[in-house]
Structure 1
């Protein structure tokens, strides 16, 4: 119950519409401030001539590729049209094939693009084939798979602030597989204990979906566990994709250095052999060094006058 000493203060409140107008007024003020700042930024940009940098993927290289991995370098040309240098804060990259990630990474503090200049930035990354094959069982050795490179260049640009330039590039990359090698025949040009001159008739099977140009052979041959050394390729050879090529390679060795065991072996109809080494080849994707390895094979030893075509059967060689 109120007494006469109690003072009641009556406060009149405005209606809801007036309150809404006040709120709209405050919001409108904020928007006006934003527009003002934006306009000032554009005027400063026009006054000092600031423009966004541009970038383009100019090339993709494979400096090294073998059975284990492929080293890939992406060249990105960045142009800075501004009077001040622009820091390249980060490079974020992703390599995928048919929507599946192969490799990704981040390169921090990638450098600075000089004022009114351009610079080619190299982005290196490595594809480990074992990781890819374990993750995606349908990717098999010898195949060629499509890829897509996605690169985000992140700059710290005056006026604009942090700016991201996205880039993409597509192509194909091989999953190389080592070729099969067989020593089908050894043809003797001249045979003696002092010096034997022979030709190795090699069969190379390319199990890849791309052609190879054979440039060099680095290998060693064993006959019945006795090394007769190696030989060099006298001319380059083309090995078509999923195809077979026959190669003749001359070799010279001294049977007397190996004792009677080699002599007894040569007098027989055939013998076991082992070949180990590497081949250097050119491919549409660059140069490769691939291993060759054959153990437990059997070859025939023939004199030159008994030489026949590669397709002769063993029955044709019987006396």
Structure 2
């Protein structure tokens, strides 16, 4: 009986390993809104759904690092679902308080951009598999707007 159970576990594990999973890419990070309480950066996440039905997104967790320290982190619970057999763009608003922006001024003062690394965990609810998290990382430079560009 134990031998039969081991064969069944092996069969299921092999089939699950070959199941298609959604693919995601961090497309862009830009300055979205600047207000009295801080700045909101706009992250763009493109997710391709290989299934012929919509897949619910459980949550998106994110962490933004610059100059070797964490600038912002958080989670977005229930951001919607992925369209069937299509690529869906999800928007990830990253709120950064002014005190952290001022601490990054040294980096921005040299070349008027901020070097960043953004880590995102996209958790989707896949049929049969359950919750599945896609880890994503992107590094780049965030160009800051100039005063003439704002006004």
Q: TM-score range by the shorter chain?
A: 0.7 to 0.9
Which residue does the alignment assign to 2:41? 72
TM-score calculated relative to the size of structure 2: 0.79
Q: Distance in 2 between matches of 1:96 and 1:41?
A: 34
Using the TM superposition, give the Cα deviation of residue 72 of structure 1 relative to its aligned residue in structure 2, in angstroms. 0.8
**TM-superposed deviation, 1:40:** 5.7
Q: Following the alignment from structure 1 to structure 2, what is the Cα–Cα distance between the partners of residues 174 and 152?
A: 24
**2:9 counterpart (7, 14, 34):** 34
In the alignment, is the contact (CA less than 8 A) between 1:53 and 1:78 conserved in 2? yes
Aligned residues: 148
Structure 2: segments with no counterpart, 5+ residues: none
Structure 1 residue 79, shift from structure 2 partner: 1.1
2:97 alignment counterpart: 128
What runs of 5+ residues in structure 1 fail to find an aligned partner? Answer: 1-24, 177-211, 213-279, 290-319
Corresponding residue of 2:148: 281
Q: TM-score, normalised by structure 1?
A: 0.40
Asked if 2 retains the 8 angstrom alpha-carbon contact of 1:129 and 1:175, the reply is: no
Partner of 1:58: 27
**RMSD of the TM alignment (CA)?**
3.0
Change (3 A) 1:142 1:162: closer
Matches within 5 A, 1:1-319: 26=2, 28-39=3-14, 41=16, 51-65=20-34, 69-133=38-102, 139-140=105-106, 143=109, 144-173=113-142, 212=146, 280-282=147-149, 287=150
Bigger CA radius of gyration: 1
Structure ranking higher in strand proportion: 2
